[in-house]
Structure formats: C-alpha cells, structure tokens
C-alpha cells in the first residue's frame, strides 16, 4: 500500500510544473546578475535587481498555483492523501519557511554590509549561505516528497550563485552568470516544459460521467 | 490420500468462502487505491486504474452497495464532482481478503 500511495503521489510530478517553477525561481537570482554583466542595470542601486527578481518570483508562483489548480487537478483528479503524507508535506512547508527566513536575514545583513563580501575565492558570504541552504533544504524536501529530480535541482541551486562569483573573480568568461544560469536553471526549464507539453497531450480534461444511482 | 493432499484440498475449499466483491480485479484495484489515500475523486481513480468511465462507475456502484466505499456527490461550479473514500467496513474486508489470500497462497505454494 505504501508503494501504491507513493506512486499516486509521484504522479503529480508528471506535469513538469515544479520543474518550471524552480527553474524560474533560480533564474530570478541569475537574471539581475546577467543584466548587470550586460551593463543594463547598475548593482549600486538595488532597485532594479529587486524588481526583476520580484517579477520573476511572482510569475513563477502564479504559474505554480494556477497551473496546479486549473491544469493538473482537472486532468489528474483530486486526492486527499493520508495523514503520513500530510505530515511529510508539513515538514516541507516548515523547511521552506525557515529557508525564506534565513534568506531574508542574509539579504538584509548583506544590504547593511554586515556580512563579508568575498575573500580569496571571490564568493560572498551571502552566496555561500545560499548554496549550502539550497542543498540542505531541497535535498530534505526531495526526501520527504519522494521527488527524485529534486536532488539534482538541489545541487544545481547550490552551485549556481557560488560558481558565478568564483568565475567572476577569476575572470574566466565575459558573462559568467549567463553561462552558469543557462546550465543550472536552463535544464530545469527545459525538462519542465517538455514534461508539461507531454502531460497536456497524455492527460486531456475528463469530465466525470458520475456514478449511476441505482 | 496423503495428509498433505488433504490439507491442500481443505485449503482450496476456503476459496469458496472468499469475498467475491473484493476478489474481482477492478474492484480490488479500486479498494487498494482508496485504502492508500484518505479520499480521491472519480477522475483520479480513472487515471490511476486505467478503467473506462462506465466500468469504473459500475464497479464503484457495486462497492457502494456492499458499503465498502463511501460516495459523496457534489457540484464544483456547474460540474459534478464525486469524492470517494473507503469505509471502515471496506478497509476491514480488504485486510481480511489479503490475509486469507496470503494464507491460501502460502499453504499451497509455500513449499515451492
């Protein structure tokens, strides 16, 4: 029965919505860096990076919430999972809340220049915290959700920001964030989109005939 | 007739007493899925079991008649929505069926 429950729960990852959502979230960290490298926005004023990040984050969240509600559920059906699964999902939500809080604290500490801005490696403390936190939070979420792809995404999230700063410091490429985020957020978006299109073809909306009253 | 043969025959006769409502593969599959979750709707079962609408509807009616499945009909907007859950009686019957089948299989083929 456990295997059956797991199979039923994992069927909701077939839609690719999680993949696109996470890809967009990761891109929201990379896009301001890319625009800064292209010389289109100035990092000295935090307004534009924040605006771009916020727009992408809100877009990702809207895609996730409305996608699940109006695309996935009408096709796959509605299910209320057992208590054990609900407990696991509570763990995931708690993890995400803690993660956001750590992210906010780190962001404000950086804003007020209370965290060291990179040493020999050129990786700022905020980048290191981001990487370690992403690895821990997403790996634990992958475990609780039985979502295997999320382990890979945890790694991609973890390396993206630190590697970008390291490449920038060592001056290997002209546009390091473009390369790094294409290789980290890119696969998530591609996998997500392919799964999403396949899902739409495989699962048409089925209106129920209902059950005969006898 | 050897002692072993006798016990096999008596074991096989237990097959006549098994719950035929659950023993039907489609109904067994439906109950198995419903026992793994708290509740699910008609479309979810349709996708998971691979049964046709008519077939699923028929077997759910049978399971409802036996009080193994609870069916709650509602409307979401203008669309009908059927929420299904396994009853305590259904869960007990499924457990009992699994126990009997396991004993029978172990008794008959355990030596192999």
Please write the tens of the pLDDT for every residue from B74-109: 887 777 888 999 999 999 999 999 988 888 888 777
- pLDDT tens across A6-27, in order? 988 999 999 999 999 999 999 9
What is the third-level CATH fold of B20-103? Arc Repressor Mutant, subunit A (1.10.10)
Is residue A21 within 8 A of residue A65, CB to CB? The reply is: no
Report the domain count for chain A. Answer: 1
pLDDT attached to residue B55:
93
Q: Quick check: helix, strand or coil at residue A158? A: helix
Neighbours of A77 (CB within 10 A): 23
Contact call for B37 and A79, based on CB within 8 A: yes
pLDDT attached to residue A208:
66
Domain segments of chain B as ranges:
20-103
Q: Enumerate residues 6+ apart whose C-beta is below 8 A from A6.
A: A146
- pLDDT tens across B2-56, in order? 555 545 545 677 777 788 899 999 999 999 999 999 999 999 999 999 999 999 9
Distance from the Cα of B69 to chain A's closest Cα (Å) equals 12
Distance from the Cα of A171 to chain B's closest Cα (Å) equals 53
CA dist A98 and A41 (Å) reads 31
Q: Quick check: helix, strand or coil at residue B87? A: coil
pLDDT attached to residue A45:
65
Which residues in chain A have their CB less than 8 angstroms from residue B57's CB? 209-212
Task: Show the tokens assigned to A114.
Answer: 């209370």
Q: Enumerate residues 6+ apart whose C-beta is below 8 A from B11.
A: B103, B104, B107, B108
Least confident of A130-134, A156-160, B90-94: A130-134
* pTM for the model: 0.82
Q: Enumerate residues 6+ apart whose C-beta is below 8 A from A34.
A: A175, A177, A178, A181
Residue A164, Cβ density class (10 Å: 0-12 exposed, 13-18 middle, ≥19 buried):
buried
If one compares A131 and A42, the residue with the highest pLDDT of the two is A131
Which residues in chain B have their CB less than 8 angstroms from residue A81's CB? 37-38
How would residue A213 be classed by pLDDT, with cut points 50, 70 and 90?
very low
Contact call for B39 and A80, based on CB within 8 A: yes
Q: Would you say residue A212 lies in a domain? A: no
CA dist B102 and B18 (Å) reads 12
Angle, helices B88-109 vs B25-36, to 10°: value is 120
* Nearest-by-Cβ selection for B71 from A11, A207, A211: A211
How would residue B111 be classed by pLDDT, with cut points 50, 70 and 90?
low
Q: Would you say residue A155 lies in a domain? A: yes
Determine which of B37, B54, B63 to mutate to test the interface with A (most A C-beta atoms within 10 Å): B37
Distance from the Cα of A7 to chain B's closest Cα (Å) equals 9
Determine which of A1, A2, A199, A211 to mutate to test the interface with B (most B C-beta atoms within 10 Å): A211
pLDDT attached to residue A210:
47
How would residue B58 be classed by pLDDT, with cut points 50, 70 and 90?
very high
CA dist A5 and B40 (Å) reads 12
Residue B62, Cβ density class (10 Å: 0-12 exposed, 13-18 middle, ≥19 buried):
middle
CA dist A37 and A129 (Å) reads 22
Q: Would you say residue A60 lies in a domain? A: yes
Contact call for B48 and A203, based on CB within 8 A: no
- pLDDT tens across A56-83, in order? 889 999 999 999 999 999 999 999 998 9
* Nearest-by-Cβ selection for A82 from B36, B53, B79: B36
How would residue A170 be classed by pLDDT, with cut points 50, 70 and 90?
confident
Contact call for B42 and A211, based on CB within 8 A: yes
By C-alpha distance, the chain A residue nearest B54 is A209
pLDDT attached to residue B13:
75
Contact call for B39 and A79, based on CB within 8 A: yes
CA dist A126 and A138 (Å) reads 18
pLDDT attached to residue A106:
83
- Can you tell me the mean pLDDT for A97-124? 78
CA distances for A5 relative to A2, A8, A11, A26, A136, angstroms? 5, 5, 10, 30, 25
Quickly tell me which residue has 């030596």 as its tokens: B111
Which residues in chain B have their CB less than 8 angstroms from residue A211's CB? 42, 57, 60-61, 64, 71, 73, 82
Q: Would you say residue A208 lies in a domain? A: no
How would residue A46 be classed by pLDDT, with cut points 50, 70 and 90?
low
Distance from the Cα of B3 to chain A's closest Cα (Å) equals 36
* Nearest-by-Cβ selection for B61 from A4, A203, A211: A211
Contact call for A77 and B44, based on CB within 8 A: yes
Q: Would you say residue A210 lies in a domain? A: no
Contact call for A11 and B47, based on CB within 8 A: yes
Contact call for B36 and A77, based on CB within 8 A: no
């Amino acid at each position: 029965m456990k295997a059956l429950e797991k199979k039923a729960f994992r069927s909701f990852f077939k839609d690719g919505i999680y993949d696109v959502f996470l890809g967009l979230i990761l891109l929201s960290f990379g896009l301001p860096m890319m625009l800064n490298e292209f010389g289109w926005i100035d990092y000295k004023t935090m307004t534009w990076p924040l605006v771009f990040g916020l727009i992408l984050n809100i877009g990702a969240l809207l895609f996730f919430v409305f996608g699940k509600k109006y695309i996935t559920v009408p096709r796959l059906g509605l299910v209320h999972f057992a208590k054990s699964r609900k407990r696991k999902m509570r763990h995931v939500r708690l993890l995400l809340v803690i993660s956001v809080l750590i992210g906010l604290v780190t962001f404000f500490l950086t804003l007020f220049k209370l965290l060291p801005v990179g040493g020999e490696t050129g990786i700022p403390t905020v980048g290191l915290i981001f990487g370690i936190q992403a690895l821990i939070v997403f790996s634990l979420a992958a475990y609780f959700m039985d979502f295997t792809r999320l382990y890979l995404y945890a790694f991609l999230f973890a390396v993206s920001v630190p590697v970008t700063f390291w490449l920038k410091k060592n001056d290997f490429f002209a546009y390091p964030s473009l390369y790094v985020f294409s290789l980290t957020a890119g696969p998530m978006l591609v996998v997500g989109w392919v799964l999403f299109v396949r899902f739409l073809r495989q699962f048409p909306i089925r209106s129920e005939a209902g059950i005969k009253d006898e | 007739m050897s002692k072993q043969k006798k016990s096999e025959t008596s074991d096989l006769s237990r097959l006549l007493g098994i719950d035929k409502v659950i023993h039907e593969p489609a109904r067994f599959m439906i109950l198995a899925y419903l026992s793994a979750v708290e509740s699910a709707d008609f479309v979810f079962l349709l996708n998971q079991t691979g049964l046709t609408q008519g077939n699923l509807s028929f077997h759910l009616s049978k399971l409802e008649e036996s009080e193994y499945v609870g069916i709650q009909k509602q409307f979401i907007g203008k669309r009908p929505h059927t929420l299904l859950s396994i009853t305590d009686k259904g869960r007990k019957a499924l457990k009992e069926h699994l126990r009997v089948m396991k004993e029978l299989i172990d008794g008959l083929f355990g030596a192999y």
